[in-house]
Amino acid sequence: MVEPIALGALALDAVLGWPGGLYARIGHPVGWCARLIAVCEARWNGATRTPRARWIGGILTVLLLVGSVGAITWGTTLALRALLGGWAWIGIAVLAWPGLAQRSLDDHVRPVAAALEAGDLPAARRAVAMIVGRDTAALDEAGVARAAIESLAESFCDGVVAPFFWLLLGGLPGLWIYKALNTADSMIGHREPRWRMFGWAAARSDDVANLVPARLAGMILCAVGGGGWATLWRDAWKHASPNAGWPEAAMAGVLDVRLAGPIAYDGVVAEKPWIGTGAVVIGAREIRRALGVYRRGCALLWIVAGGIAWVL
């Protein structure tokens, strides 16, 4: 029997999320990675450094991050196995638990739908601003709904499928190295002048790490949603990211809505292509439907984890 590490981690996350009291006391492991990235950025991405020096500094940051996280998690795994023997999988599952975000995503998207259902657009804008980076102050109901659904779809990959995939493939080190790379990409993997050279390694590493999980996430959403395949194959390539378009196109196809389109960041409108050919005017109902698809996708991962643990 394969140890049910992934199943245990999924169960802990679904039941507990990441408790606020625990966060107040010790923070979150992703935050620890963020602090190391910030230190490296302050040291190696100064305004006086040449573009090449910034590029090399960014590579060193990724190597330091991966090396540190890999060494700590690998050593911890060995220590648990030495101390706990056959029960070590429980400790490993506990340490893998905060790397998954099933409950957190659900908890952040539901308030957006609830606010729209209550007719409180300002509250919906505030709620969706917690999970997206775009300008939200001027979004109408459809814009708020699109932002929430896009974030849910993309984060299904980044927060659930990808860490689950790397946990199965590489154990605790695999999961946390992935989370470290994903954190680096979100912090420094941008195209603005300040980040373009320094964040290059983080962005490309995250692209590679998500290459398989993103496609799996898209196919899972279509499978549990009962459709959307044509939109997936046609529109996944329309996104600027080589990976984010897969779960977004799948969700757009399943719900028969249009996602993406023109989006404002820091007051500048980015003319992004539409993903999907369905309804443009959407609201709380479509968010609720997206949450249902998302939950079925998570349930499928539970089935996969259980099957691996008990069948193999």
* Cα 181 to the center of its chain, rounded Å: 11
Query: Token pair of 61, please?
Result: 């940051």
Asked if residues 245 and 238 have their Cβ atoms less than 8 Å apart, the reply is yes
Delimit the domains of the chain by residue range.
5-311
**pLDDT for res 266:** 72
**pLDDT for res 51:** 95
Rounded to two decimals, what is the model's pTM?
0.94
Q: What are phi and psi of 259, to 5 degrees?
A: -120, 175
- The span from the CA of 195 to the CA of 179, in Å, is 20
**pLDDT for res 312:** 62
- The span from the CA of 77 to the CA of 34, in Å, is 22
pLDDT per residue as tens, the chain (312 positions): 568 999 999 999 999 988 888 888 888 999 999 999 999 999 999 989 999 999 999 999 999 999 999 999 999 999 999 999 999 999 999 999 999 999 999 999 999 999 999 999 999 999 999 999 888 888 999 999 999 999 999 999 999 999 999 999 999 999 999 999 999 999 999 888 899 999 999 999 999 999 999 999 999 999 999 999 999 999 999 998 999 999 999 999 999 999 998 887 777 777 889 999 999 999 999 999 999 999 999 999 999 999 988 876
Asked if residues 283 and 116 have their Cβ atoms less than 8 Å apart, the reply is yes
Q: In angstroms, how far is the first alpha carbon of the chain from the final one?
A: 6
Q: What are phi and psi of 187, to 5 degrees?
A: -90, -45
- The span from the CA of 122 to the CA of 136, in Å, is 9
- The span from the CA of 306 to the CA of 9, in Å, is 12
Element containing residue 205 per DSSP (H, E): helix 200-209
Asked if residues 282 and 288 have their Cβ atoms less than 8 Å apart, the reply is no
> Which of 27, 48, 264, 298 shows the shortest CA–CA distance to 153?
298
Angle between helices 5-16 and 102-117 (to 10 degrees): 30
